[in-house]
A and B are shown apart, each in its own frame.
Chain A
Amino acid sequence: EVQLVQSGAEVKKPGESLKISCKGSGYRFTNYWIGWVRQMPGKGLEWMGIIYPGDSDTKYSPSFQGQVTISADKSITTAYLQWSSLKASDTAMYYCARRNEYAYFDFWGQGTLVTVSS
């Protein structure tokens, strides 16, 4: 059974750093792209970027380039999304999702809620 399990909710202060995770299981982790999607409170989905764990090839949305870093550790089948300096506007639910051979996200994590507040 394919599963993506994300790390738990986080409450951080502006300026702090953060790294959230997404652990894949039930499939060959290195063979599928993993993407990250942001959903701010009451708002729509935003495509942030995607990584191919097999060779760490990474693509970012222009809106998120330089704002976050996407990485993966294939030895532990885990993808990451990290910030070096959080802002209040980073408050959102963040989903990871697997992109299948038809180029759509077929399996999703449960989401990680990140709250940034002073």
Chain B
Amino acid sequence: SYELTQPRSVSVSPGQTARIPCSGDTLPKQYAYWYQQKPGQAPVVVIYKDSERPSGIPERFSGSSSGTTVTLTISGVQAEDEADYYCQSADSSDTSWVFGGGTKLTVL
């Protein structure tokens, strides 16, 4: 079945920029979505359609796409951004969706 690949972990110091990549064969043709999940909570979308930011999400969250890789960028990371981040997209036929394995962001 279709897969999205993310690094297991990313670590940054407060105020630095965190970049979390996600790769998948259909990403050139399908939009990607990014979810943040904190312990004991349901996920929250932070980026949709590759680079759109929902209302209420801080401007430091941004998304980009290049070929088979999409990237979530968090500029000026804050302690509260420490969480698991998941990319999500669809297969080539748009009948099944998948999450990436998740990336644990640690704020040092």
Residues of chain A contacted by B14 (CB below 8 angstroms) = none
Asked whether A61 and B96 contact (CB < 8 A) given A44-B84, A103-B31, the answer is: yes
- Inter-chain contact A50/B97, CB cutoff 8 Å: yes
Interface, chain A (partner B; CB < 8 A): 35, 37, 44-47, 50, 59-63, 95, 97, 102-106, 108-111
- Is B107 an interface residue when CB atoms closer than 8 A count as contact? no
The CA-CA distance from A105 to B96 in the complex, in Å, is 14
Interface, chain B (partner A; CB < 8 A): 1, 31, 33, 35, 37, 42-43, 45, 48-49, 52, 54, 84, 86, 88, 95-102
Asked whether A109 and B96 contact (CB < 8 A) given A63-B1, A103-B31, A104-B33, the answer is: no
| Chain A CB within 10 Å, residue with most, of B31, B42, B48, B86 | B42
Asked whether A44 and B48 contact (CB < 8 A) given A61-B98, A62-B1, A104-B33, the answer is: no
Of all chain B residues, which has the CB nearest A50? Answer: B97
Asked whether A45 and B52 contact (CB < 8 A) given A59-B95, A103-B31, A105-B43, the answer is: no
- Inter-chain contact B101/A61, CB cutoff 8 Å: no
- Inter-chain contact B43/A108, CB cutoff 8 Å: yes
| Chain A CB within 10 Å, residue with most, of B96, B98, B100, B101 | B96
